[in-house]
Structure 1
Amino acid sequence: MPEGHCQLCKRVPTKMAALGDTLPFYAGPKPTFPVDTTLAIIISIFLTALVTFIIILPGIRGKMRLFWLLRVVTSLFIGAVILAVNFCSEWSVGQVSTNMTYKAFSSKRISADVGLQVGLGGVNITLIGTPVRQLNETIYYNEAFTWRLGQSYAEEYAKALEKGLPDPVLYLAEKFTPDSPCGLHGQYRLAGHYTSAILWVAFICWLLANVMLSMPVLVYGGHMLLATGLFQLLALFFFSMATSLTPPCPLHLGTETLHTHCGPAFWVTLATGLMCVLLGLAMAVAHRTQPHRLKAFFNQSVGEHPVMEWSPEEGGLLSPRYRPKAESPEPQDIPLSEAASEAASEACCKEECPKEADHAL
């Protein structure tokens, strides 16, 4: 072998490992957390908040305890879903069991399950052997390739080539590269960026809804809850439209073809969005028909804020009117002490005496 070629092999041994007759250079299964760390953090935060609210639950009396628990659980569930799906990799998923080559330019074949999960920020590819132990190696791979802002998908794919990952993983990852004729990279990257931005707007609306529902402006809180659901549905509509701009690219793995479909993140977002829309509309209707019960559900006294009401004659839900004096609560007679009563009578006498003198003159 020429000396120059030997020096090249020393400089890039990992690249040569992907083309030789040996097993992939990737040394054993990469240690992975059973759940995505970002999702684990989000779920832990919301579960901690839920436990905190449950601890203080015994301090609430009567039916308000059940109403309060229902509001807290619903609100935390909506917020957790909006954040979790933004970082989830299961918007478009597919899985197939097939018999395929384990490495390029090699006749060795394995039987494995290949999974593909496409999220808003990248692609996750899994390769699990059936059985896991084949060719004197544990076949269990879980590789992520991201295209979020500040990260290059092409560079991550180049690093995967240097590692010498198995051929099925590299085959699927290559389909999402910017230079691939399938066009999946631009299609899903565009959909991921804009869908993520719309979901962040929905999260802000959810925060505003919680703030307003804790104040005596329940109708505005219902409107923001309605906006939260509408933005989630808008995100789903944009993701569906953007991912259907180009014809589907066939993904052949051995004798089988991998087909993708909408994943759990898509359907959970759809269910949560519809729930927010229905809750927002229900609050708007309840504010028109049963405002006292709505205030009671949110533990707000009916006479706590008697100044401002909402009149359909003066602009609907968004136009306040002031309660006339006749509807205002009657003033209460507060008994004065004897000393205060004597002082008041003396003051009245002083005011009336000069008037009588003037009339006499």
Structure 2
Amino acid sequence: MTALGHTLPFYAGPKPTFPMDTTLAVIITIFLMALVTFIVILPGIRGKMRLFWLLRVVTSLFIGAVILAVNFSSEWSVGRVSTNTSYKAFSSEWISVDVGLQIGLGGVNITLTGTPVQQLNETINYNEEFTWHLGENYAKEYAKALEKGLPDPVLYLAEKFTPSSPCGLHRQYRLAGHYTSATLWVAFLCWLLTNVMLSMPVLVYGGHMLLATGIFQLLALLFYSMVTSLTPPCPLCPGTATLHTHHGPAFWITLTTGLLCVMLGLVMAVAYRMQPHRLKAFFNQSAGEDPVLGLSPEEGGLLTPRYRSIPESPKTPDIPLSEDSSEACCEEEHTKELDCVL
């Protein structure tokens, strides 16, 4: 290696750069396919219920996709800084780079991009992930990174999250990720129950489960904020600058979706109390014409049979009897009267 002019240690393998997490890509693809499938069959829904179906399906798919995506996202806490730092160990050469840190529920992701990318006759563009969920050993992953010879800024930030680091970030963020992920899975289960109940004539319970979905999302944010603030912040100085972290997109989109679920759940509860017919018509559970929405069964409502009430039923017409029939009836009645007198 020395004969080839490399400085020890060096990064022997290819530098992986992933523009997007594959798990998030799979989740988004599945929900987009479900949305496209619904849009294909949407013209088959007649009348004004087409718009109501579109609003319900899009909102439901958005909530479910967000709950799953943020559970696997690595952008709950993010930070980025431009700095000048050493590139490799045992080398006095410095480079100008952008260092990024993304902390998720199951690990950390560290990016290193040169400014410019080509420096020291190398392409400086790294994206490394270190995980601690599902029984993964973070210390072993850090040891493998040392064996690879990753650049100094990547190893410096990865070392801050090791279990033996005095910063205590490993225990802090691992606990936060564990409880937040568990709460989000409960929220996802509530979302599934919401869809089941809203497809049945139990709209009030569907609204309650939607409200529970939002509450569990907000509880997940509460757990994450509380656990991550238990220990004092640890200074992260990769080079000449200090890297500061803040809540990332996953945190804020979870907050937005949780508030949306709570608001929709409360609206459904109030509508069920005050305007139950309108709520049933919106969810395609109204048999007759709705006075507010002006919907008839032919415009998308359930085509249930309408039975005619007794006052509306036509009276049986009186059929006139012939003269012979009337005389026979009179004689029969006169005979019955004589029998009664005797």
Q: TM-score, normalised by structure 1?
A: 0.79
Question: Which residue does the alignment assign to 2:143?
Answer: 158
- List per-residue Cα deviations over 1:179-210 (Å, max 9, x = no partner): 00000000000000110000000000000000
Question: Which residue does the alignment assign to 1:24?
Answer: 10
Amino acid in structure 1 at the alignment position of 2:309: E
- 1:133-152 correspondence runs (5 A): 133-152=118-137
Q: Distance in 1 between matches of 2:15 and 2:94?
A: 18
Amino acid in structure 1 at the alignment position of 2:7: D
Question: Which residue does the alignment assign to 1:264?
Answer: 249
Which runs of 4 or more aligned residues in structure 1 lie more than 3 Å from their structure 2 counterparts after TM superposition?
20-23, 328-336
Question: Which residue does the alignment assign to 1:199?
Answer: 184
Amino acid in structure 1 at the alignment position of 2:203: L
Amino acid in structure 1 at the alignment position of 2:145: A
Question: Which residue does the alignment assign to 1:322?
Answer: none
Q: Distance in 1 between matches of 2:270 and 2:11?
A: 64
Amino acid in structure 2 at the alignment position of 1:92: S
3-state SS of the aligned residue for 1:221? helix
Aligned-residue offset at 1:40: 0.4
Q: Which moved more, 1:40-49 or 1:147-156?
A: 147-156
Q: Distance in 1 between matches of 2:309 and 2:18?
A: 66
Aligned-residue offset at 1:255: 1.3
- List per-residue Cα deviations over 1:253-302 (Å, max 9, x = no partner): 21100000000000000000000000000000000111111111111115
Q: Distance in 2 between matches of 1:335 and 1:59?
A: 41
Q: Distance in 2 between matches of 1:56 and 1:333?
A: 40
Q: Distance in 2 between matches of 1:214 and 1:187?
A: 41
Q: Distance in 2 between matches of 1:26 and 1:260?
A: 31
Question: Which residue does the alignment assign to 1:349?
Answer: none
Question: Which residue does the alignment assign to 1:178?
Answer: 163
3-state SS of the aligned residue for 2:82? strand
Amino acid in structure 1 at the alignment position of 2:12: Y
Question: Which residue does the alignment assign to 2:109?
Answer: 124
Q: Distance in 2 between matches of 1:43 and 1:33?
A: 16
Matching residue within 251, 254, 259 for 1:274:
259
Q: How many residues align?
A: 299
Q: Could you tell me whether the CA contact under 8 Å between 1:90 and 1:117 is conserved in 2?
A: yes
Amino acid in structure 1 at the alignment position of 2:259: L
1:40 and 2:57 correspond: no
Unaligned 5+ segments in structure 2 are: 290-306, 317-335
3-state SS of the aligned residue for 1:254? coil
- List per-residue Cα deviations over 1:315-354 (Å, max 9, x = no partner): xxxxxxxxxxxxx983574999xxxxxxxxxxxxxxxxxx
Structure 1 residues 33 and 63: CA distance shift in structure 2, 3 A: same
Aligned-residue offset at 1:226: 0.2
Amino acid in structure 1 at the alignment position of 2:200: M
Q: Could you tell me whether the CA contact under 8 Å between 1:82 and 1:269 is conserved in 2?
A: yes
Question: Which residue does the alignment assign to 1:62?
Answer: 47
Question: Which residue does the alignment assign to 1:344?
Answer: none
Q: Distance in 2 between matches of 1:335 and 1:136?
A: 100
Q: Distance in 2 between matches of 1:75 and 1:282?
A: 15
Q: Could you tell me whether the CA contact under 8 Å between 2:153 and 2:239 is conserved in 1?
A: no
Aligned-residue offset at 1:21: 3.3
Q: Distance in 2 between matches of 1:51 and 1:87?
A: 23
Matching residue within 218, 225, 237 for 1:233:
218
3-state SS of the aligned residue for 2:88? coil
- List per-residue Cα deviations over 1:3-38 (Å, max 9, x = no partner): xxxxxxxxxx9xx9xxx83462333422x4421100
Q: Distance in 1 between matches of 2:9 and 2:181?
A: 39
Q: Could you tell me whether the CA contact under 8 Å between 1:28 and 1:138 is conserved in 2?
A: no
Identical aligned pairs, as a percentage?
78
Q: Distance in 2 between matches of 1:284 and 1:329?
A: 32
- List per-residue Cα deviations over 1:148-186 (Å, max 9, x = no partner): 022110111011000000000000000000000000000
Unaligned 5+ segments in structure 1 are: 1-12, 305-327, 337-355
- List per-residue Cα deviations over 1:130-160 (Å, max 9, x = no partner): 0000001000000000000221101110110
1:245 and 2:230 correspond: yes
Q: Distance in 1 between matches of 2:314 and 2:34?
A: 45
- List per-residue Cα deviations over 1:79-115 (Å, max 9, x = no partner): 0000000000000000000011001232110000000
Which protein shows a greater Rg? Answer: 2
Q: Could you tell me whether the CA contact under 8 Å between 2:77 and 2:102 is conserved in 1?
A: yes
Q: Distance in 1 between matches of 2:182 and 2:314?
A: 58
Question: Which residue does the alignment assign to 1:169?
Answer: 154
Q: Could you tell me whether the CA contact under 8 Å between 2:84 and 2:95 is conserved in 1?
A: yes
Q: Could you tell me whether the CA contact under 8 Å between 1:26 and 1:165 is conserved in 2?
A: no
Q: TM-score, normalised by structure 2?
A: 0.83
RMSD between aligned residues: 2.3
1:292 and 2:283 correspond: no
Q: Could you tell me whether the CA contact under 8 Å between 2:8 and 2:89 is conserved in 1?
A: no
Matching residue within 43, 50, 55 for 2:35:
50
Q: Could you tell me whether the CA contact under 8 Å between 1:147 and 1:189 is conserved in 2?
A: yes
Structure 1 residues 33 and 52: CA distance shift in structure 2, 3 A: same
